[in-house]
Amino acid sequence: MTIETRSLTGAEIKGIAARIDRPLVLVGMMGVGKSTIGRKLAQLLDLPFRDADDEIERAAQMSVSEIFERFGEAHFRDGERRVIARLLESGSGVLATGGGAFVQPDTRALIHSKGIAIWLDSDVATLVDRVTRKDTRPLLRGGDPAEIVARLKAERESAYSEAPIKVMSDAGPHGEAVNRILKALDSWL
């Protein structure tokens, strides 16, 4: 078995966890699996998990779609930045962010200064396959989801590429992406 496919042992994962002194912040396109992968990663590292969109919904007492509909994207981005700023103050943990968060310069600067950004990337076909299973994303409602996902990915890639760690999360099981993140952290920390 190669080092790439071998799962890390519990002791190796503990060793990595002991070196994490800042929040791990998952960034990347909608549909890439930030929440599912983040939850599994947090569980393995024995760290708390937070999902920025869930926290925004809790703070606003309404869904992300309703915020977009009633107040517009700029208002959502403002709330998103404030919620992420608060979550970054709660110490080590795993934080999944919405796909547009790291694209906003102020939010990106906050994440750079307080956390370790991890860009989860995937090809467009995999993203489209995953996002079309749910109808909860306001940015996909105005047209063809495949076209919108491809355009947003192209527009956002230069921002995402500022993350110090990049991991692929392709069509395989999410556990593989978690393993790749752990190995990337092991060499980066």
Residues of this chain that interact with ligand S3P (CB under 6 A) are: 30, 34, 53, 64, 98-100, 137-139
Q: How far is the CB of 12 from ligand S3P (least distance, A)?
A: 29
Can you say whether the dihedral through the CA atoms of 167, 170, 172, 175 is positive or negative?
positive
Phi, psi (degrees; rounded to nearest 5) at 43? -60, -45
Buried b or exposed e, range 113-134, using 16+ CB within 10 angstroms: ebbbbbbbbbebebbbebbeee
Q: How far is the CB of 112 from ligand S3P (least distance, A)?
A: 19
Q: How far is the CB of 139 from ligand S3P (least distance, A)?
A: 5
Residues 179 and 113: their CA atoms lie apart, in Å, by 25
Which one, 48 or 79, has the nearer CB to ligand S3P? 79
Q: Tell me the residue number closest to ligand S3P, measured at CB.
A: 98
Q: How far is the CB of 81 from ligand S3P (least distance, A)?
A: 12
Which one, 45 or 131, has the nearer CB to ligand S3P? 131
The answer to whether 25 and 90 are in contact (CB under 8 A) is no
